[in-house]
């Protein structure tokens, strides 16, 4: 009896020990699972953040390149006519590093500026992280931006933004193209919704390799993906049709995109133009003790009849009125295509014909009730018509439309096409 009781007791103890061991194993397994799951979530968030940061830096870099681009000096060498076709405009972007043979070297592969539109394959490639070399514009980027997978970013650019004779007159005129939007990039959502057909540039992260891709082959199709879009069929991010797709991550699509439209970029370029013209006018005042007379709206010819105010464009010619001759502002060639989108008005007591030391006459130029204003510069966005002589055709604010030397800072406009004003 005693022996059987001992045996039974030992069995119970052994069973209890096994139960405790099972609980311990289950607890450890659960902890490992939870840790693994949390680690996976944390890793995904970290990778997403790293990729988004790289895309954001690339976008900011390209925007700054466009805004700070300094045109090459005008070269009138008749033996090399292509050298003077287009290297006199601001707002440019670099070509991609687009060597589809796999010889990506971080440098933009520039095209001959003497042709209207370069080879379509020229507009998609790797982000040119080193910059450009032996081409225009000469840019030093030196930003080795990579996504969370250690991959170089990809880059697509509108033909309107790179150097070619088709956009030699780059200016706010490019805002006003009617559909179809020629030579801008387009992006669709995976559901078929058009995000924009006025994209200036896109930067991509290719994500991890998906089925059917071979990353040892460096063609874009082995990095960038495709989506079947309702009503549009398959749209891919790796061909040269200037049409791209943005969608949620799936097993067959994991591209991430960052982009900028021309409607976002153009007002910033206009601001740069206004600041350059302001600097030229300030220097003119130093040199001459007064400001130049404007041209009438819709013309380039200096107009002596505007001596008492009224304003217009910055004059670049003097065909009819000889007394205006000293008043021509030396505008660089690369700003000329922007002048039909800028209204200029100096104080009427501070121009060539009525100059009296810029003495701030009581009826002088005013801005927001300030009376010590020397001149006004107003950018008009895409609103500039051809040869119009009425300010209402150019400006949105009713007060600024009246030629009475009275101005207000333009009101905030819900559209991107808003007037901008700077002054001295």
- Say whether both 406 and 310 belong to one domain: yes
Final residue of a structural domain among 213, 229, 254: 254
CA quadruple 354, 358, 362, 366: dihedral sign: positive
pLDDT tens track of the chain, all 424 residues? Answer: 444 445 555 555 555 555 545 544 454 444 434 334 444 656 666 778 899 999 999 999 999 999 988 776 544 444 444 444 445 578 889 999 987 556 788 988 877 766 776 677 789 999 999 988 766 557 788 899 999 999 999 999 999 998 877 777 788 888 876 666 788 999 999 999 999 999 999 999 999 999 999 988 889 999 999 999 999 999 999 998 999 999 999 999 999 999 999 999 999 999 999 999 999 999 999 888 889 999 999 888 888 888 888 889 999 988 766 667 777 899 988 898 899 999 999 988 888 776 666 766 666 788 998 888 899 999 988 777 777 888 888 888 888 888 888 889 887 664 545 688 888 8
- Say whether both 129 and 237 belong to one domain: yes
The range of the structural domain enclosing residue 306 comes to 266-423
- Say whether both 250 and 270 belong to one domain: no
Residue 234, token pair as written in the block:
């398959």
Give this prediction's pTM.
Answer: 0.83
- Say whether both 336 and 200 belong to one domain: no
Evaluate whether residue 133 is within a structural domain.
yes
Final residue of a structural domain among 254, 287, 314: 254
How far apart, in whole angstroms, are the C-alpha atoms of residue 263 and residue 17? 73
How far apart, in whole angstroms, are the C-alpha atoms of residue 19 and residue 10? 14
- Say whether both 361 and 286 belong to one domain: yes
Q: Angle 271-277-280 (CA atoms, 0-180°, nearest 5)?
A: 145
Total domain count, the chain? 2
CB 337 within 8 A of CB 314: no
Evaluate whether residue 320 is within a structural domain.
yes
Final residue of a structural domain among 204, 222, 254: 254
- Say whether both 167 and 276 belong to one domain: no
Measure CA 71 to chain center: 17
- Say whether both 173 and 71 belong to one domain: yes
């Amino acid at each position: 009896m005693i022996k059987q009781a001992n045996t039974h007791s030992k069995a119970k103890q052994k069973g209890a020990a096994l139960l405790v061991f099972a609980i311990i194993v289950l607890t450890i397994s659960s902890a490992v699972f939870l840790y693994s799951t949390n680690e996976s979530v944390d890793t995904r968030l970290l990778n997403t953040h790293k990729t988004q940061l790289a895309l954001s830096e690339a976008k900011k870099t390209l925007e700054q390149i466009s805004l700070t681009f300094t045109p090459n000096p005008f070269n009138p060498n008749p033996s090399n006519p292509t050298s003077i076709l287009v290297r006199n405009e601001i707002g440019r972007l670099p070509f991609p590093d687009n060597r589809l043979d796999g010889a990506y070297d971080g440098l933009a592969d520039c095209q001959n500026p003497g042709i209207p539109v370069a080879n379509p394959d020229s507009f998609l490639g790797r982000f040119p992280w080193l910059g450009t070399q032996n081409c225009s514009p000469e840019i030093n980027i030196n930003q080795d931006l990579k996504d969370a997978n250690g991959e170089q970013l990809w880059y697509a650019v509108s033909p309107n933004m790179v150097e070619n004779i088709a956009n030699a007159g780059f200016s706010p005129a490019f805002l006003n193209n009617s559909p179809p939007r020629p030579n801008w990039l387009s992006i669709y959502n995976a559901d078929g919704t058009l995000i924009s057909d006025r994209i200036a540039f896109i930067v991509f992260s290719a994500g991890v390799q998906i089925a059917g891709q071979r990353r040892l082959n460096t063609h874009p199709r082995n990095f960038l993906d495709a989506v079947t879009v309702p009503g549009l069929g398959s749209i891919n991010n790796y061909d040269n049709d200037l049409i791209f797709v943005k969608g949620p991550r799936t097993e067959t699509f994991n591209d991430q995109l960052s982009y900028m439209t021309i409607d976002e970029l153009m007002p910033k370029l206009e601001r740069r133009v206004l600041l350059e013209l302001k600097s030229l006018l300030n220097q003119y005042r130093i040199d001459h003790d007064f400001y130049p007379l404007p041209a009438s709206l819709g013309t380039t010819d200096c107009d002596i009849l505007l001596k008492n105010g009224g304003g217009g464009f910055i004059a670049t010619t003097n065909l009819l009125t000889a007394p205006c001759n000293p008043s021509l502002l030396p505008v660089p060639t690369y700003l000329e295509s922007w002048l039909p989108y800028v209204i200029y008005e100096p104080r009427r007591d501070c121009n060539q014909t009525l100059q009296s030391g810029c003495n701030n006459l009581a009826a002088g130029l005013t801005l927001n009730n300030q009376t010590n204003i020397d001149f006004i510069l107003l950018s008009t966005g895409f609103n500039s018509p051809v040869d119009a002589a009425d300010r209402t055709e150019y400006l949105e604010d009713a007060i600024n439309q009246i030629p009475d030397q009275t101005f207000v800072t333009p009101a905030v406009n819900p559209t991107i096409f808003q007037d901008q004003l700077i002054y001295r």
